[in-house]
């Protein structure tokens, strides 16, 4: 997947150095943002991915209702596609039926559904542990994807990206190749030593 992108990421990602980069010729500007201090509402994105809504950051928000209110406003500020996790009951209630919204997740009724291929829980490769999973869009399989990060939450987050890129017209095989090379953020499932 060869696309010029600018980006700003909150964590250090060894594959993306520096942490933030602006290129005037870039097709996309990808930003990782959160609701922790209300600055989420300063963004008016073309497309957005919303992973989950939890009772967090109550040092800033009065209660969960206020957190949900910020997410509702953010979604309203998204000009086009909102990709949301169907496994999160609050998001499902907030976004199901919204025009220009797409769901993803483990739920059987998600627009982009993740499943284990042949009941397998993952696979191993020479490059280290990997999770192998399949994505279905309705009755059509987009194929198998390999992620070099373990855990259902990482797979769920990867599925969100797959759903958005697929909706934007990128080929599923190209998305799979790009995803397979992703190694994640520093200090998260990072191999510090190997004697092999």
- 85-140 pLDDT, tens digit per residue, is 999 999 999 998 899 999 999 999 999 999 987 755 555 544 457 789 999 999 99
- Strand 82-85 to 101-105 pairing: parallel
The helix-helix angle for 172-180 and 152-167 (nearest 10°) equals: 140
CA distance 50 to 68: 12
Distance (Å) of CA 98 to CA 41, 81, 114, 164, 169: 19, 10, 22, 16, 21
Query: For 36-75, how does the pLDDT look when each residue is reduced to its tens digit (9 = 90+)?
Result: 888 899 999 999 999 999 888 888 889 999 999 999 999 9
Question: Can you tell me the distance from the alpha carbon of 16 to that of 166, in angstroms, rounded to the nearest whole number?
Answer: 22
Output the pLDDT for position 127: 47
Mind listing the pLDDT tens digit for each residue in 156-174?
Answer: 999 999 999 999 999 999 9
Confidence of residue 6 (pLDDT cuts 50, 70, 90): confident
Nearest to 162 by CA among 121, 112, 117, 106: 112
Summarised one tens digit per residue, pLDDT across range 175-191 is 999 888 776 555 455 56
pTM for this model (two decimals): 0.84
């Amino acid at each position: 997947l060869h696309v010029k992108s600018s980006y700003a990421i909150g964590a250090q990602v060894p594959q993306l150095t520096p942490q933030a980069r602006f290129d005037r010729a870039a097709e996309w500007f990808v930003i990782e943002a959160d609701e922790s201090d209300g600055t989420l509402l300063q963004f008016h994105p073309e497309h957005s991915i919303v992973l989950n809504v939890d009772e967090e950051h109550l040092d800033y928000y009065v209660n969960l209702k206020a957190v949900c209110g910020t997410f509702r406003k953010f979604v309203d500020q998204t000009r086009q596609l909102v990709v949301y996790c169907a496994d999160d009951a609050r998001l499902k209630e907030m976004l199901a039926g919204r025009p220009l919204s797409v769901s993803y997740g483990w739920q059987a009724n998600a627009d982009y559904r993740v499943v284990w291929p042949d009941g397998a829980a993952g696979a191993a490769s020479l490059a280290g542990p990997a999770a192998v999973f399949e994505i279905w869009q309705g009755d059509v399989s987009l194929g198998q994807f390999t992620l070099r990060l373990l855990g259902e939450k990482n797979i769920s987050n990867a599925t969100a990206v797959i759903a958005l890129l697929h909706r934007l017209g990128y080929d599923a095989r190209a998305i799979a190749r790009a995803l397979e090379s992703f190694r994640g953020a520093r200090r998260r499932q990072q191999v510090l030593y190997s004697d092999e």
